[in-house]
Structure formats: C-alpha cells, structure tokens
Chains A and B, each alone.
Chain A
C-alpha cells in the first residue's frame, strides 16, 4: 500500500522555523524524522512549540523557513486538501460537529470522498468497535456522550479514511485520570494492531513514557533532544532530569504522607 517510500522517514522536518506574522518566533532550527510505525511523542510545556510542530505536518501552519516532508514529498508542494485527508488529526477539544450524529461525524471524510452510503455505514461499524463503543452509539449526538466517549469518536473519525499517519494533540488531556488511563491502554493495543505512524503531543511525562517509542523533548521553540523512554529516564540532561524529578517528586510526596 505504501511501498514507494517504505524506507525513508514518513515525516521529516528540515531546518524548519515558524514565526507569527507579528514576528514572534515560535519554532526554530527544527530537524526531526518520524519513522514508519513509530509513536513519536512531542513532550514539552505549553509554549514550547509542540502543537506548532504538529500543525506544520498537515499544513494548518506553513513554515516560515525550511521544509516539511510527508511521505517524501514537501508539503508546500502537495495539495493541502489531499494531504489533510491522508493524515488523521485528533485534538484535545475533540471538535466533534455538534449538529451531526456520531455516525455522520465519523463518516464525514469518507462521504466527501464519495464513498457509497453502504460502505460508510460498514466502516463506521468497524471503527466504533475498534475504539470500544457500542454500535447503537452511532445515532447519538455529541452532547449525549461523556468526555471519554467523545474522544473515542474523535479517534474513530480521524481513522475513518484509514490514514497512515495520525496526529494527536493532547487527545487525553481533558479527561479524568481513570478514563485517560483506560484510553491510553486502548491506544497502545490499537496501535499494535494498526501500526500507524503517530505524532503525539503531551506535556505529561508519564503519558510520554507509556505511549512513545521515542520522545522528542521541546523547550522554548527548540527541539532539545530525541530519546527512547528508557534513555530519557537515564538522561543526565538538566531539562530531562527536571521532568523526571518532578514526576518522581509527585510519587515521593505521596509516599511521605504515609500513603501506600
């Protein structure tokens, strides 16, 4: 299916910078490659440039200098609508269309791509099952769903046209801890089956360690380094250790209070 670029990186940033029209530099000197089938986590605090990086992939933003390549082709030269339809996109606020049922939400891209109603219906059934929702959810409206259900629909919608790339911007950030934990686990098992190339934005080290095959640490518009989760925990880099320490402190303080 994706034979022609089988060996190169799926997404590649070449010396990319992004500045607002006002001149404020949000991102600079970014060089990064995302390999087929991996989950690359962009970890950083707010304002570090991780969401900007993500939006450069599906050209919701265009770099002010440098080049972003998706499947070997510079995004600046590709048809932006085709590009976006071939890349799944999930955001924290989900952004479900409130006037569409779950089925219409999930089936929107297939519909505008001209799929038959029958094929869309079958696809929606498969997707609902894939993200752990019952079939009768198809006829509900977004306001009738819980936060977790909504985000599952968001993931199903992003997967609708079977994109090889999935961009996820803090998709589980607004969920309660238990739901988040469950969705993270389901994401892992789903990813094992689907083997998508995923770029995942989070500020949560725990989530990054759990989901990422590699972690790209960002700070103030720059990529600090890219490490495997194991190496991240062992890293002596001051920023990485600061993250690990903050994470460990959270656990320690619980222990110090005499809780299990």
Chain B
C-alpha cells in the first residue's frame, strides 16, 4: 500500500488529529498573545519589569519540553486533563518570542515620533494604541509567527501525555516501526507549520511601516 492510499484510507482520522493539533496550537498561541503582549509592553515601558519578565520567559524556554509536561502533571486541575496540560506548556513556550518581539517592537519606535506624540498631548493609552502598537505590529507578528511554527512542532510531543494531535500518529508509528504512520503525523504537521509561516509572514510584510 503506498503512502497516497494510506492517507486516503485514513483521511478521517488524519483530519480529526490535524484539527486537534490546530486547536492545541491555536488556543495556546492565543493565550500567549493575551499574556505576552501586555507583558512585552510593560517591560518596554517600565525599566524595572524588563529583566524579571524577559528573564523568566528565557528560563522557561530552557526547560526540556518532555520534562515540562512531567513537572506539570501532578498539578491539581491541570493534570486532570492532558489537553489542559499541553495547552499550558505550549503557552509557556510561546511566551518568550511574543514578549521579546513586543518589547523589541515598542522599543524600536522612533523616539522622535513618541516625543512628538507626547508633546501633542496624546494620553499614554492613545500613544500606545494609535502610534506604538501599529508601528510595532510587524515585529510583534514576527514573534507570533515564530511562536506558532515552534508550537506546531512541539505539539506533536503533547501526544506523549495523551493530549492528542498529530503526534499520535508519530508515536504510534514509532512503536509499530511503521513509516507511513509516522509520515501521516509528520507531513500534515509540516504543512501546518509552513502555511502558518507563510500566512503570518505575508501579514507581517503587509503591516510593516514604510
């Protein structure tokens, strides 16, 4: 049976696991953006927050992913369901690129533009929403892009703790020494990563200030 037939025959399960995979990546990226962008803004605006925030995110990044899943397993509520745990772990990994790029993007806004805005009487909020964030948007997006691409890969490991996703195929294929099964997980994951990379990259270029 060639690979094409295998895919055709198992298209139902492949689709299901791909959607599960997308869900894990989508929710964790969303959470990372909701937490990471404000933290990035905070550390760009307030010098004292800069080191602790970026430092913590950096440390999290250095924890091996399997170990992180293991650490989180005994935590009550969280350990009850594998997908909760996987989403939290993926969120934690996605934080660093989001925070760092938000920080870099906001700090990179031309000081003359910020000063002119302040001098014209923009409130801090107006300055942030109308000037700083729009001008930092392409840099922030490139951080989100990195986060998504990394998450798509990392999420395959989530299958090790039973959180589902395309990793199911990969682990099953490894156990059964079945290359077609491994590819049934790896190829859709690669396609997801590449299309996210391409789509977000396109958006990033569109939003890049001239």
The contact size tier of chain B is 20 to 34
Roughly how many angstroms separate A60 CA and B120 CA in the complex, as a whole number?
10
Q: Mark B86-126, 1 if CB is under 8 A from A, else 0.
A: 00000000000000000000000010111111111111001
Q: Is residue A81 contacting chain B, with contact meaning CB distance below 8 A?
A: yes
Q: Taking A98-B135, A98-B209, A99-B135 as contacts, is the C-beta distance between A84 and B112 under 8 angstroms?
A: no
Say whether B120 contacts A109, CB under 8 Å: yes
Q: Is residue B131 contacting chain A, with contact meaning CB distance below 8 A?
A: yes
Stretch at the interface among A3-11, A87-95, A237-245: A87-95
Roughly how many angstroms separate A201 CA and B118 CA in the complex, as a whole number?
19
The contact size tier of chain A is 20 to 34
A-B contact pairs, 5 of them (CB 8 A): A60-B119, A95-B116, A98-B209, A109-B121, A112-B122
Contact partner of A97 (CB less than 8 A), chosen from B117, B118, B121, is B117
Q: Is residue B79 contacting chain A, with contact meaning CB distance below 8 A?
A: no
Q: From residue B83, how far is it (CB to closest CB) to chain A in Å?
A: 39
Q: Is residue B51 contacting chain A, with contact meaning CB distance below 8 A?
A: no
Q: Taking A99-B135, A141-B210 as contacts, is the C-beta distance between A83 and B112 under 8 angstroms?
A: no
Roughly how many angstroms separate A251 CA and B116 CA in the complex, as a whole number?
36
Q: Is residue B201 contacting chain A, with contact meaning CB distance below 8 A?
A: no
Q: Mark A44-83, 1 if CB is under 8 A from B, else 0.
A: 0000000000000010100000000000000000001111
Q: Taking A84-B119, A85-B121 as contacts, is the C-beta distance between A95 and B113 under 8 angstroms?
A: yes
Say whether A95 contacts B126, CB under 8 Å: no
20 further A-B contacts with Cβ under 8 Å, apart from A60-B115, A91-B112, A99-B209, are: A60-B119, A81-B121, A81-B123, A83-B121, A84-B119, A84-B120, A91-B115, A91-B116, A93-B110, A94-B112, A95-B113, A95-B117, A96-B113, A96-B116, A97-B116, A97-B130, A97-B131, A108-B122, A112-B122, A112-B126
Q: From residue B66, how far is it (CB to closest CB) to chain A in Å?
A: 43
Roughly how many angstroms separate A89 CA and B115 CA in the complex, as a whole number?
10
Say whether B134 contacts A99, CB under 8 Å: yes
Say whether B121 contacts A82, CB under 8 Å: yes
Q: From residue A234, how far is it (CB to closest CB) to chain B in Å?
A: 36
Roughly how many angstroms separate A84 CA and B113 CA in the complex, as a whole number?
15
